[in-house]
């Protein structure tokens, strides 16, 4: 049912909790997971290359340890739009993301809410 799952992650602690849920679902559907990291030019403090590389390596190790095929993508832009564009380009079957990512601008709509509005496929939001 879900051949490919897109897992957008950031540097929040909740990202790994979301990854655990993605692993459970991927195992039950024999899915592959694509991890997506979105660099945001307007938030340079969130774009530390070493931190991002470490995060992606940990997520990949967690997923591959569970026996799931995994690939990594890094893109730049506004997170909701990049996530939806990647989902569309890769023709993914499901996006799994958390509701509690890092968002430095309190008055903006959450990334998850915006992805739900724009996504070309189902979105599973993990609280």
* CATH code, domain carrying 32: 3.40.50.620
Q: What is the pLDDT of residue 43?
A: 64
Range of the domain at 80: 4-126
Q: What is the pLDDT of residue 50?
A: 79
Q: What is the pLDDT of residue 104?
A: 42
Residues in the chain: 127
Q: Residues with Cβ < 8 Å from 109, sequence gap 6 or more? A: none
Number of folded domains in the chain?
A: 1
Q: What is the pLDDT along the chain (127 residues), one digit of tens a residue?
A: 899 999 999 877 778 789 999 999 999 999 999 999 998 776 665 666 777 888 888 899 999 999 999 999 999 999 999 999 999 999 999 999 988 654 444 445 688 899 999 999 999 999 8
Q: What is the pLDDT of residue 71?
A: 96
3-state SS, residue 47: coil
Q: How far apart are the first and last CA of the chain?
A: 23
Q: What is the pLDDT of residue 105?
A: 46
How far apart are alpha carbons 3 and 96 in whole angstroms?
13
The sheet carrying 32-39 orders its strands as 70-76, 32-39, 4-9, 94-98, 123-126
- With both helix axes pointing from N to C terminus, report the angle between 14-29 and 49-65 in degrees, rounded to the nearest 10: 30
């Amino acid at each position: 049912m879900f051949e490919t799952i897109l897992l957008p992650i950031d540097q929040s602690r909740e990202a790994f909790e979301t990854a655990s849920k993605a692993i459970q679902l991927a195992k039950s559907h024999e899915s592959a997971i694509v991890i997506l990291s979105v660099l945001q030019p307007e938030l340079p403090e969130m774009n530390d290359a070493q931190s991002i590389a470490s995060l992606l390596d940990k997520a990949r190790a967690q997923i591959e340890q569970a026996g799931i095929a995994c690939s990594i993508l890094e893109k730049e832009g506004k997170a909701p739009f990049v996530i939806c564009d990647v989902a569309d380009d890769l023709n993914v079957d499901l996006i799994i993301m958390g509701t509690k990512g890092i968002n430095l601008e309190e008055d903006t709509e959450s990334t998850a809410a915006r992805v739900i509005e724009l996504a070309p496929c189902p979105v599973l939001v993990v609280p």
